[in-house]
Structure 1
């Protein structure tokens, strides 16, 4: 029937010799030997199972852990009839505390007393795990030797789980010092670890019957299982709450990785399940704190200490000074620490701190043991005084419980998962960004080549032997300006669809001045694709230019522009001139006429019809529906037209101008434009260093700045100018520039479309 290591079987009421007394037997293996231990039967008719079942029923009625422990002690005393039964619990360091007891009247109470770990050495604790029941019937009883001394393998018999074996003389002396005549202990084992003991004392020799002892051992096992279940239920409820907190934390950090460095937010989240007085977040050598924590220098030292000594798991202590002597300097602020590692070495940490908790500990006797000579040389003697001895414990915090450490481990795994996801997301983002950059560069290259080809075409087609050099430059400049204005409108909407009415108004305002009132327009509020927008910009520009030079707007006539959406979804745009000089079909078709008549059919696949009746030119354009992005329900309103600023040659009269531009060609063009509007002198600079040097000379009255200057920006130049602007003369110039900024921008754009 014996199964596994340390298995023990019992038999009751055996008759070994005919007519002789009956014996109770305990049988187990020891190496290759079978050990049979016999005791004369002292009690019959004892039903241990029924008795223990009743004991467990009463134990189950306990509502809280305090009552549970007290009821356990009461049941064991009722069963064994010992004078004192204590429930003795170990802490993580091995020290013990009496958490419950049941006493015979007149016996001193040990409830609440603490005992040092040295009272029960590690080898004794290991034995309590193997042999869960131990009795000393008479601490003054004679010790009987084993015969023979050695077994068949010439080894001493291993008596670890023998129920009749003697105990250490030191332990017997310890009990005699307490005045105890007999003792009994029952191990309380939870999750495979020695949680504590039922420690029973009697002040005279006492040996409960074999059946009583078996019942007490069985009750100890049932008590341990019940305690384990209660702790697991409490831990399960607590950890379920912690998992909910972890899920909340994961969801928040996954949405915003910056929260991981927010010590106040982390502290608020975590402290709902793991109470703490302060939180520090140590990431990439940067420290953020909230609440009561050591200072930054001390935190860096702690992080180095953790990286040196702690593994990749949660580390907790209620006595920081035991790790580093420096912790004594800030013990009042932080005596306990729980560190949650967030990465591999060198690690980042979320560290919870607890302040010092001064507490008075009641010890069962003075902890100091005296050394005296014994039969085996110098040794520690058992304590001879068991009177209560108090100690004020300093430099320690409220300990972190096992459940809180498990919660912290759950949070560690959750945070690592979030960090892994963020890392993967960042990697994906980097890859996507690299892919987008490749596509963007290819698209940019394609567009630049198209623009250069378009400019080259404009130059080639504008060239006409009948035009003077000045007329050629002016005509080419007008066409480039038309394209620039169209691109400005498209890029303001991130190269998305733009309103047709804005295109028409922009072209009307660019050249007509006061005559813009003679251009009327009406139609649906339609947004057209960028491709169609660019094409129509050139078409409208050429129509407007022709009308200004030769058509209705060159005289007292007017232009009416109408547009509508056909049932097919195509956009129809009509141009009608009236009241101007008599019109005749052109004898020579130049580039402008070619743009008007062929751009829409060629580039967009639509139609263009241009007629030249005597009363004024008319044109009709059909833009296919695929280029119509959206039609708003309201009609395009007649928006107020911004004031038209004509070039004022004295706008910058007498001013000394700083022009910051990193492109030499644009700088030269801008310099000419500024001279044209009155600047007395223009200094150009391609960089911040050169600009600041010119400003330092003290001659600049105001400046025009390009923001991007290769690998730097002009922000520092603007700041320097603003700082100097508080001098009266420069300040007046700055205010004047601010007041005329719109006119300056408009006028410079006429000269250099890229510059604004």
Structure 2
């Protein structure tokens, strides 16, 4: 039997561990600390192993005696940035001693020392990790609310980092956290919707996460290397709070081992300067991610944080608009001067429309009015005295009134949550909303209140070994009042106070004050939104290798790529021979809407040679797009007139006119689409283009030189390629594997398959990973990318054919002999593809299997 402990040992003991003073680094890097005059003060014992330079033996000497002059000059230059308040600076690919070995370097200030950390660059292949960030962030913007955004963020970070499980962990006010989104390998345990106690991430660890945004633990079995000497001459250990190679607390290592984790990475999610949550990444075996990729991961997390702020700002704006609408309606309906008591039912109906509740009460001028589940008048008087002790001119909200006001025991069967709006000065009157109790189960990842014995780490907590779900029933709580509820309530409070003051002959001055306050709030909100957008725009513009174009033109590029793809398909089907102009127009019109009867074409059809067809595809696409958005095709009665007029010299004149659409106003600036219409034909074909924004509709005239035009034989030309229909009785595969080496394409394909009806979609980026998944599960259908970077998917295709698994080949090469002859027979899906195309090849593969 265990002897009782002489002190209490519970989950709070972790808060006392000095995790920033461990005096060790992880083995994937080494550390050197220097003074302001460049004297080496500390060095990790593995410097010789990592760098080939024994900095431990060099302690007390000058750094410039051990590195190249060029390196020293570069370090001095980057160190200057620390004088401007930067937490750290980074240098990638530094040749330290001239031996050709490259190192990634982090530099930050710790007290009076400057800390240099070095990681050997193992992968010298050129890659652009940052270029992957912005397409992933673009997907996050499509998420529905915080949950949807977090789900897309978990998927994106897992794809970017390579970890087998990525959790989005959101902190509560008490320091506990809940996993609100997760992306994981099927072999990994799920922690979705589980809550973790506050002490699992102690207070000092949360503070370090707020200061240092990314933390990698490459191998939980790594013994690390000590930093020597442990203390400086003043007797102080080196503070490693911001060190990227900082070793790991043995308590945390044991915690990770108990979870079956071999490597982890934590990335902070900050929200207006506070720690909102974490990306918690786990891997079943050791995993090292180099510093350059970790920088891309850190940028991903920061952009996700800005997207959260943007979503919150949008919600604030919507709440403000709703509050303004409610304000206007209330002021209109209460303008008769009868007072709030006489208008209680009107007031209750308006509030019910914007804030859900189970009961509402008005206490004004000593009178009590109520509706729904509320306390009695006698019970409410005790609550009113309690509310009078709350802060003045502020709403009061709690989802457990009995925990704040013991007298609420008498009406706990009717009301658990209270939201009170003071609507007068002393003595105060109130509008009070009530919500009934919701007894709810909280699923914890282990018992948060369980007491543990002291273990091998001395008088500190031994981490728990059980992460089995422990459920706690929470009573005397209502559904929580949301931020939107509180914002709306504050606006209502101001509105109702305005009504009260109007009824007491003081409305004019107070209404002006409220209006000015509201305008100020709107101006401040607009200012914040502009700042956020400017910040995101700045980050995009500073990204490398044209990332600005990806972010700026993502929405428009999709339509243009599909347009070019359709044009290319018609060309390749005719072996790069001239193709019908009318066919092109039909394809573009059909891509946007059912334009039957809404396109009037005059003149004979002509053929366009391949050199002109792609240019005309873009021009026609922009004309149709603009008409569908703003012109004749945006209304039911509008039509488009296309005049085809071959000229005696063989040239072609095209006339385009929007007829019957809304009135047109010339744009204030020329956008990219307008530039395509006006510039493509003159620049690419040496023709002519004129665009007019008439009040009656947009008109355009184009001249295409004769060398790009041919008459159609017998006055008819080949039309657009037929779209193959999906059999109405087609069977949908439920479990699907996508083998694709490009992150964004793989994620888009997974989404398309989910839209079709697949219930479980796994992705693999290479042959080895695909084979491992095939060993573990039986799939109903597999979508194979032909080219997987440095390898092809042929071994996977041959295995699928041998095992009788239906599959289709996705390729940008089209149905070429190389693909057809080199793979087992299967349907071909040509990139870029759509949901309908995926549905068709799936049906064909399943039907032929």
Q: Indicate the residue corresponding to 2:310 in structure 1.
A: 229
2:321 is the counterpart of 1:278 = no
Tell me, yes or no, if the aligned pair for 2:502 and 2:508 is still in contact at 8 Å: no
Alpha-carbon distance between aligned partners in 2 of 1:307 and 1:386, rounded to the nearest angstrom: 45
Deviations 1:520-571 (A, max 9, x none): xxxxxxxxxxxxxxxxxxxxxxxxxxxxxxxxxxxxxxxxxxxxxxxxxxxx
Task: Kindly state the Cα deviation for residue 268 of structure 1 after the two structures are TM-superposed.
Answer: 1.7
Structure 2 runs not aligned, ≥5 long: 1-80, 510-849
Q: Indicate the residue corresponding to 1:170 in structure 2.
A: 251
Tell me, yes or no, if the aligned pair for 2:195 and 2:442 is still in contact at 8 Å: yes
Counterpart of 1:31 (choices 111, 118, 122) is: 111
Task: Kindly state the Cα deviation for residue 251 of structure 1 after the two structures are TM-superposed.
Answer: 4.2
Tell me, yes or no, if the aligned pair for 1:261 and 1:281 is still in contact at 8 Å: no
Structure 1 runs not aligned, ≥5 long: 429-756
Alpha-carbon distance between aligned partners in 2 of 1:385 and 1:238, rounded to the nearest angstrom: 43
Change in Cα spacing, 1:34 to 1:427, as seen in structure 2 (3 Å) is closer
Bigger Rg, which one = 1
Change in Cα spacing, 1:10 to 1:406, as seen in structure 2 (3 Å) is same
Counterpart of 2:242 (choices 161, 167, 176) is: 161
Q: Indicate the residue corresponding to 1:13 in structure 2.
A: 93
Work out the number of aligned pairs and report it.
428
Alignment map for 1:64-83 (pairs within 5 Å): 65-83=146-164
Alignment map for 1:368-383 (pairs within 5 Å): 368-374=449-455, 379-383=460-464
Alpha-carbon distance between aligned partners in 2 of 1:124 and 1:311, rounded to the nearest angstrom: 37
Q: Indicate the residue corresponding to 1:691 in structure 2.
A: none
Task: Kindly state the Cα deviation for residue 142 of structure 1 after the two structures are TM-superposed.
Answer: 2.0
Alpha-carbon distance between aligned partners in 2 of 1:425 and 1:311, rounded to the nearest angstrom: 19
Tell me, yes or no, if the aligned pair for 1:365 and 1:385 is still in contact at 8 Å: yes
> Alignment partner of 1:272: what SS?
helix
Tell me, yes or no, if the aligned pair for 1:260 and 1:266 is still in contact at 8 Å: no
> Alignment partner of 2:270: what SS?
strand
Counterpart of 2:296 (choices 215, 222, 228) is: 215
Deviations 1:569-617 (A, max 9, x none): xxxxxxxxxxxxxxxxxxxxxxxxxxxxxxxxxxxxxxxxxxxxxxxxx
Q: Indicate the residue corresponding to 2:394 in structure 1.
A: 313
Alpha-carbon distance between aligned partners in 2 of 1:208 and 1:200, rounded to the nearest angstrom: 12
Q: Indicate the residue corresponding to 2:536 in structure 1.
A: none
Task: Kindly state the Cα deviation for residue 13 of structure 1 after the two structures are TM-superposed.
Answer: 0.4
Deviations 1:213-233 (A, max 9, x none): 111111111111122212322
Q: Indicate the residue corresponding to 1:698 in structure 2.
A: none
2:465 is the counterpart of 1:388 = no
Task: Kindly state the Cα deviation for residue 74 of structure 1 after the two structures are TM-superposed.
Answer: 1.1
2:187 is the counterpart of 1:96 = no
Tell me, yes or no, if the aligned pair for 2:424 and 2:497 is still in contact at 8 Å: yes
> Alignment partner of 2:187: what SS?
coil
Alignment map for 1:43-58 (pairs within 5 Å): 43-44=123-124, 45-58=126-139
Task: Kindly state the Cα deviation for residue 92 of structure 1 after the two structures are TM-superposed.
Answer: 3.9
2:412 is the counterpart of 1:331 = yes
> Alignment partner of 1:340: what SS?
strand
Deviations 1:641-665 (A, max 9, x none): xxxxxxxxxxxxxxxxxxxxxxxxx
2:489 is the counterpart of 1:408 = yes
Tell me, yes or no, if the aligned pair for 2:390 and 2:396 is still in contact at 8 Å: no
Q: Could you state the TM-score of these two structures normalised by the residue count of structure 2?
A: 0.47
Q: Could you state the TM-score of these two structures normalised by the residue count of structure 1?
A: 0.53
Task: Kindly state the Cα deviation for residue 122 of structure 1 after the two structures are TM-superposed.
Answer: 3.2
2:378 is the counterpart of 1:322 = no
Alignment map for 1:394-543 (pairs within 5 Å): 394-425=475-506
Alpha-carbon distance between aligned partners in 1 of 2:198 and 2:384, rounded to the nearest angstrom: 30
Counterpart of 2:197 (choices 110, 113, 116) is: 116
Tell me, yes or no, if the aligned pair for 1:6 and 1:161 is still in contact at 8 Å: no
Deviations 1:668-718 (A, max 9, x none): xxxxxxxxxxxxxxxxxxxxxxxxxxxxxxxxxxxxxxxxxxxxxxxxxxx
Change in Cα spacing, 1:426 to 1:208, as seen in structure 2 (3 Å) is closer
Moved over 6 A (4+): none
Alpha-carbon distance between aligned partners in 2 of 1:381 and 1:265, rounded to the nearest angstrom: 60
Alpha-carbon distance between aligned partners in 2 of 1:261 and 1:124, rounded to the nearest angstrom: 56
